[in-house]
Amino acid sequence: MEPLVFVPFFILGTIFGSFLNVVIYRLPRGESLVKPRSHCPECKNKIPFYRNIPLISFAVQGGRCNQCGQKIAWRYPLVEIISGLIWGFCFTNLVLPEALIAVSMWGLLLVVAWLDQSHQKIPVILLLLTMFTALTSVILGASYWRLAVMGAIIGGVIPGLAAGIMFLISKTAGLGAGDLLLGLSLGIWLGPYNILLALILACGLTLVIWGVNFLRRKSTGDQAIAFAPYLIIATAIVYITSYYRNDLIEGLFFN
């Protein structure tokens, strides 16, 4: 990893992460993403640009609003850090078209994961943008169309069949339409092998969380658990490990 490449893109990523925070806060409330200017959710005072610097402003102000002293949610610096790491990783390791698609997709997935976890609902516009980004990766040649079709079948159809079987058995919807559309988009983007691994890992993570909640009596056993965040976490694990796996294979056999 080249620091001279990683650091500037990390900084750009934190700026993009600041915008993602705006989306996470405003989209579920039906507010404009453009107006009004950034403001404190508590006292509504507008935040000047010099107090809206990603990560730095949070650290300098001690994690509190400069006007009213209200604590700033840890989501804000966390999303900015994650976004910065995504940009740094993608632009350091991927070629330009693929890197642009990757940071766009991961930005969308970060928002989807956060909103589904907090609201258990994925806005349709985010699902459409995720699908558009996945199809763009095929059009630009970052993904092969044959693998994209196979991935779409595994990512969308198989979970759909599983959800149908679960409904017939338990009379409850195990997966929502948003989960199925998300799986379809990720299948197009990742291809059949990686989406299959991501689905298996996501099911395992979800089962573990369900078991922990059940044992701690936070769930009655039939309480809904947001699936998208665990699918996205699993996708991140598979995406990163597949990159280094391929790099290791090339190093062992082709150098």
Tens of pLDDT, residue by residue over 126-141, are 999 999 999 999 998 7
Tens of pLDDT, residue by residue over 55-90, are 888 888 888 877 787 888 889 999 999 999 999 999
Q: Which residues of the chain have pLDDT under 50?
A: none
- HEC string of the chain equals CCHHHHHHHHHHHHHHHHHHHHHHHHHHHCCCCCCCCCECCCCCCECCHHHCCCCHHHHHCCCECCCCCCECCCHHHHHHHHHHHHHHHHHHHCCHHHHHHHHHHHHHHHHHHHHHHHHCCCCHHHHHHHHHHHHHHHHCCCCCHHHHHHHHHHHHHHHHHHHHHHHHHHCCCCCCHHHHHHHHHHHHHHCHHHHHHHHHHHHHHHHHHHHHHHHCCCCCCCCCCCCHHHHHHHHHHHHHHHHHHHHHHHHHHCC
